[in-house]
Amino acid sequence: MNAPAGPSTSPSPSLSPYVAHATPFALMVAMLGLLASVASASIDAYLPAFSALQSDFQASQSDIQLTLGVYMLCYACMQLLHGTLSDALGRRRVVLAALLVHVCGSLVALWAPSLPWLMAGRVLQGVSAGACVVIAQAIVQDCYQGSQARRAMSYLIVVINLSPALAPVVGGYLTTAFGWRAVFALLALLAGVALLWCAARLPETLPPERRHALSLRALAHNVRQVLCIPRFTALCLVASLLVAAQGLLIGGAPDLLVNSLQLPATAFGYLFIPLVIGAVVGALSAARGAGYWPDKALILVAYGLMAGGCLVHVLYLAWTNEPRWIWTVLPPALFTCGLAMCAPFITLKILGEAPHLSGTAASVLGFLQMLAFSLASGWLVALVYGRPAWLALGMLVLVLVSAVAWLGVQKWVASPRSLA
């Protein structure tokens, strides 16, 4: 653990004095981005391998889809524990332990002789991957404030969106060239590199005096405490609905591309490259606009992009019986652009409602978001197999409900009778 800076240190007012001397901004953001990419790539890299997994294990599409749903469910549930552990033990040691478990889970999946063994590997990946994103967000809250925090969170959102968008492209080529096991070899390598880098360079960002007691009672108390903040819970609902819409898109991608558009596994780039371009443009717009554009204006534009993209998607897919890939993949790029644009602002507003329990707050937020993603990508998407217009309609409904909830929260905050 690094000692606090001495009297000669003059940290930026936007940086926590505890780590001001330890790690440059760019290096810290790069490490946090790598952490986030471990979790994101574990969700999406093996999507192009669904057909190969079905053939190899003689399993149904629903059985293979369940490996995604189980991963996301474990990911969601464990996030409640990851944040509390990091609030009690510090960020660094929890991150390192999680990465070690993730490497083990990737190796179990790599050498899985049957579907139950693959499921076991996905469970180990799921229970560990959530720590990477939760603690990355908590570290941003530990270290930075104001516009610098927004920039850090925006760049983190770039990686969070870039990784799952590129991972299926890489996964598709690996599956075609070397088989589906190569995908899990890549995930083991990625987590291993993150483990070694964080062990060497990631500082502890939570000083001992800010830590909380570790116990089940403390966990329940902290979770209850943040959930009893009305605006925190309401804003979590806003964010979770948007993540559920993303879950429908990601979970439905194999069926949309392979079955509806009749494209090969190597064609996942046709969908995910436009998605990543949209996400990067949205996140960079948020980063550039931090401190210059009003939050309300950015979020209004973001919701307009998400709703507009989903609406165009619904109308096109309902109008044609033979969709072309170019018009099928471009509207979702508007959705990811809007999502990446508003995510940093909404996330920081949520965490700002519980600054004294930022780790627990990040855990609860992550749990609710990933629970929504798990339900959408692992189970609800099965209801729209072979009906891409219904998938797009589901995304549109979730975006519109989220927008209504956001407007309700803003009206509530503006009311003189709103709760503190």
Query: Quick one: how many helices (H) and strands (E) in the chain?
Result: 15, 0
How confident is the model at residue 295, as a pLDDT? 76
**Rounded Cα distance, 64 and 45, in Å:** 14
Q: The tokens of 154 are what? A: 């925006």
> What dihedral do alpha carbons 179, 181, 184, 185 form, nearest 10°?
-90
Strand partners, 144: 15
CB 300, CB 182: distance < 8 Å: no
Walk along the chain (420 residues) and give the pLDDT tens digit of each residue: 333 333 333 334 344 444 544 578 888 888 888 888 898 888 888 888 988 999 999 988 778 888 988 888 888 788 778 877 888 888 899 999 999 999 999 999 999 999 999 999 999 999 999 888 888 888 887 888 777 777 787 777 777 766 766 788 888 889 989 999 999 999 999 999 999 999 998 888 888 888 877 777 877 888 888 998 888 999 999 999 999 999 888 888 877 877 777 777 677 767 778 888 888 888 788 877 666 677 788 899 999 999 999 999 999 988 887 778 788 888 999 999 999 888 888 888 888 888 877 777 877 887 888 788 878 877 788 788 778 889 999 999 999 999 999 988 887 755 544 443
Question: How many degrees, rounded to 5, is the angle at CA 29 between CA 82 and CA 101?
Answer: 35
How confident is the model at residue 21, as a pLDDT? 45
Nearest to 255 by CA among 157, 151, 383: 383
Nearest to 85 by CA among 75, 76, 77, 95: 95
How confident is the model at residue 15, as a pLDDT? 46
* 378-382 own/partner pairs: CB under 8 Å, 24+ apart: 378/65, 378/66, 378/68, 378/69, 378/70, 378/72, 378/73, 378/251, 379/69, 380/247, 380/248, 380/251, 381/65, 381/247, 381/248, 381/251, 381/252, 381/255, 382/62, 382/65
Q: The tokens of 244 are what? A: 């559920």
**Rounded Cα distance, 86 and 360, in Å:** 8
**Rounded Cα distance, 146 and 108, in Å:** 42
How confident is the model at residue 416, as a pLDDT? 45
How confident is the model at residue 13, as a pLDDT? 39
Does the pTM surpass 0.75? The reply is: no
